[in-house]
Amino acid sequence: MPSERRVVLLGPQHRTQIVARAVDDLGVDGPLATITAGWEEREHEDEDLSLHLGGRTRNLGLYPRAEEVLLEDGVVRELLNERFHRMRDLRSLYHLRLAPQLRSCRELLARTDPAAPDALHGPEIEGAIAGVRSLDENHLKRTAALEAEITERMAAPTRPSIERHRQELAVVLDGVEAILVAGGHVATLLDRLRLFDVFSLAPTVPVIAWSGGAIVVAERIVLFHDSPPQGAGDPEVYAPGLGLVTGIVPLPHARHRLRLDDPARVALFAQRFAPDLCATLDSGARLDIGGSVPGWQVSGEARVLRADGRVSEMQDA
């Protein structure tokens, strides 16, 4: 069944801006809500985006709103601080087990053809990837449980500081015809969207998201970089996402962050997160999901990682 809410995922916008075209294709000619909390202190430096969209944007200002809540409400501040430290500990334990398991998978894949593993290595590769998938699922369950616990404790009793901002946000969102979610720092963006439960205030309004915004609206957040400036590049499941999109792992900036010419790495990534499709979203890419059309519609540089190590057009998936 198609989603009631139309969601459009785009590639990065700093070189090729196609947000306005996506807005026009939705038949939207009224006010637009913008979310740029992932830019943190630079949240309101959105003049270029506003100009690109004809000056009809309303920035929700989630970053300073959250700062106000933290200054005003010591209980919220303590709970979010507790969540931060417990999340850090969970990630540390997860990384401790993840790194050696991924290393084993890569070594096994390097010994055979990822597209057609031989009879000796094939079962070992399947078992090794199943182990990583199990570890990912366990981490996802633990982070989801942590989030649910903190949310429940924060809601009892209801926090006036949060509810005041939710009421103000509801007024801003009343009458907007689309919500636009930019990228930036993924964890910061996710935290602010969860704190105010923004999408519940406009449950059917179309959403257009790009870069980090595309990552947070998915069902699970996968962070990735094969060659980061520091440390080893191990893709990781960070936490549950907002679930506006299911069945897809969005991979913005994939051409720069993933070794797409390495069949073993591509095969491992695709098999690890199956049955979800791992969709690359590079500059110019667009993926329309939900609405009256089941499945998705693809245009631009949206491709999919395949279990055999290839990267192909999404229509072929």
Strands 296-299 and 286-289, how do they pair? antiparallel
Q: Enter the tokens of residue 63.
A: 């970053």
Instruction: Return the CATH superfamily for domain 7-316.
Output: Class I glutamine amidotransferase (GATase) domain (3.40.50.880)
Average pLDDT across each block of 10 residues of the chain; the chain has 317 residues. List them in order: 76 87 93 96 92 94 97 96 98 96 94 90 95 98 97 89 96 96 96 96 96 97 84 86 95 93 94 95 91 68 91 73
- The residue to which tokens 């007024």 are assigned: 171
| Ranges of each domain in the chain | 7-316
Rounded CA-CA distance 297/314 in Å is: 9
Residue 316 pLDDT = 46
The per-residue pLDDT for 317 is: 47
d(CA 90, CA 143): 8
Q: Which two structure tokens, joined as six digits, stand for 16? A: 């090729």
**Residue 315 pLDDT:** 66
Q: Judge if pTM exceeds 0.75.
A: yes
CB atoms within 10 A of CB 279: 26
CB half-sphere exposure, 237, CA atoms < 13 A? 29
The C-alpha angle 137, 2, 36, rounded to 5 degrees, equals 65
> How does DSSP classify residue 81?
H
Tell me the C-alpha distance between 264 and 129, whole Å: 12
- Predicted confidence at residue 135, as pLDDT, reads 98
Cα–Cα distance list, 16 to 10, 13, 92, 121 (Å): 10, 5, 37, 43
Contact in structure between 305 and 311 (CB atoms under 8 Å): yes
Q: What is the pLDDT of residue 114?
A: 87
